Amino acid sequence: MLAAYPFSAIVGLADLRLALLLTAVNPAIGGVLVRGEKGTAKSTVVRALAALLPELDAVRGCRFACDPAAPDAECPDGPHGSTPPVVRRRSSLVELPVGATEDRVVGTLDIQRALAEGVKAYEPGLLAAAHRGLLYVDEVNLLPDHLVDLLLDAAAMGRAHVERDGVSVKHAARFLLVGTMNPEEGEPRPQLVDRFGLVVSVGSPDEPAPRAEVVRRRLAYDADPDGFAARWADEDALVAGRIAEARGRLPRVELPDGELDRIARICLAYGVDGLRADIVVARAAITLAAWHGRDTVTADDVRDAARLALPHRRRRDPLDPPGTDEERLERTLSDEEPEPEPDPGPPDGGPAGGAPPDGEADGDGGSSGSQPPAAPGQPYRPRVLTLPKTGERAHTGRRSLAYARRGRVVGARLPQGSGAPHLPATLLAAAARGSRTVAPADLREAVHIGREANLVLFVVDASGSMAARQRMATVKAAVLSLLRDAYQRRDRVGMITFRAAGADEVLPPTSSHEVGVQRLARLRTGGRTPLAAGLEAAARTLRAERRRDPRRRPLLVLVTDGRATAGPDPISVVPALAGTAAVVVDCESGPVRLGLAHRLAAALDAPCVPLAQLSAPGLTASGRAA
């Protein structure tokens, strides 16, 4: 077996190494979420930590790794008796793949034994395998939300409670939870991030010397993994011994009332929700004191714990640019007055930014140049845009109806390996054969209807007519509101703008919604209106995305007044978008209206919604698309 990369050989990443060591000492902190771009050694550090975890005694033959000194009274493999047989083994490292099913995570009914032997048996999942070890979830932001909920609930309670398929099981599930993610692939929900005890952002070294040292050590490891690991074995042994020593000291560490008050003041000043932040900071500070060999928590322990436990917990706009949380925490710890929170405005208010006055002339600005970026108005809750028909949910989300692995049961089918058994249909199939026993051929699978995530592609008019009528602030507020809605519904988003001589893909399809917000804020206007070029660019982007991910259904959101003062007639481009569900947001205003957006919407077989009515609930994309 290939030797793991030594933990002590990691260059830099001090905050990440400290956070992992603290949770190794005290898993009650709640685990670590590691944020970083690709190639920043996130997985390497986590796997290196697993090799440092102390060995443990377990009950021989127990699939749940029960501690023989205090076996779980509810262990499905128990009872183990007062003196169970003992086996010594290493702490487990369990990796959860992105494509894992709920059955694989929590366990399920052993169908083979149920059908062959007629007994109700439980097949353990990954939570059972990770008990008293390390559970590693790479790309945790890509996991379905319900799986992340299961993981974090088990990590918080230390137990897994399984109620499914006629099985009711409870078992211990105390593990060190570590998740890694690349922010470029999208952010997880804030409430899920909050369930991780510590969050650390990592990056590549920005100096030549440490970068060269990283490469030097990696090449040495690749050339001789065992020899390289042997050279660092003494340092790793010291770290492992320090973890064991800190675990023994942890129960004796005292948290003075003065430092507890300091924690409460910091959390209040930082503006966190609930009390989970206070508890995590307190646990992390106690663990820091144990790690440093002290029996009493100091102010430095509290400050260091706050830097690891608080940056992701402030009440904030989820689409804020990165770095905001860390800067605010530094001001809080420096006893500076925190800046007042911005007023988000009424959540259900209509389009802000000022409606264009009726009767104003509608021109293209008379120039091919660009106007300075207009600040967007306040966002609001927009109508829900959904796709027609029911898709096959390849991407968990909250937008359009789709067949899924969980949700409302609407029927049964022959097993396809993706759903839970449908017991009534299974029994009916056996009865139809005239049999009193169930055979494997009778098994039926439940069909669920849930919701899926989609690709929402915005095509936005940025021509001079928008600047001339001062409509761009209102348009930006609408697009910003739809971007927030896409974030909440777990969609991928893309943005194309058209102005002057052509169209630009200002945001290739991505899950990083905050990038879309930044691009929208910098969007300039001016020039003529090449609407056809915008539709052609949208068709190219959708074709490329369909090849890359054929199961993700797209929704085209076209924001325009329908005018086209440059290029061919946009109606001529419509056939390239055949079969694509679309919504046209009509920006036309004034007493004299040409209705060009309605004409284009009819050609696209799409609903046309006036910009001023975008905040009303209930919009559904046309179901007439092929």
Active-site annotation, residues: 276
Query: Token pair for residue 78?
Result: 């128990």
Query: Token pair for residue 14?
Result: 């001090």
Q: How far is CA 466 from the centre of its chain?
A: 35
Query: Token pair for residue 59?
Result: 């009950």
What are the residues whose beta carbons fall under 8 Å from the beta carbon of 470, sequence distance 6 or more? 354, 356, 374
Query: Token pair for residue 486?
Result: 């896409």
Other C-beta atoms lying within 10 Å of the C-beta of residue 106: 25
Q: Residues 228, 229, 231, 232: what is their CA dihedral angle, to the nearest 10 degrees?
A: 130
Q: Give the bridge partners for 31, in sequence order.
A: none
What are the residues whose beta carbons fall under 8 Å from the beta carbon of 13, sequence distance 6 or more? 41, 45, 202
Q: What CA–CA distance (Å, rounded) separates 445 from 108?
A: 14
Nearest to 504 by CA among 556, 561, 459: 459
Other C-beta atoms lying within 10 Å of the C-beta of residue 165: 17
Buried/exposed 565-601: b ≥16 CB within 10 Å, e otherwise: ebbeebbebbeebeebbbbbbbbbbeeeeeebbbebb
Q: Give the bridge partners for 396, in sequence order.
A: 452
For residues 1 and 199, the answer to whether their CB atoms sit within 8 Å is no
Query: Token pair for residue 421?
Result: 């058994």
What is the 3-state secondary structure of 206-237?
Answer: CCHHHHHHHHHHHHHHHHCHHHHHHHCHHHHH
Type of residue found at 366: G
Nearest to 62 by CA among 48, 47, 75, 44: 75
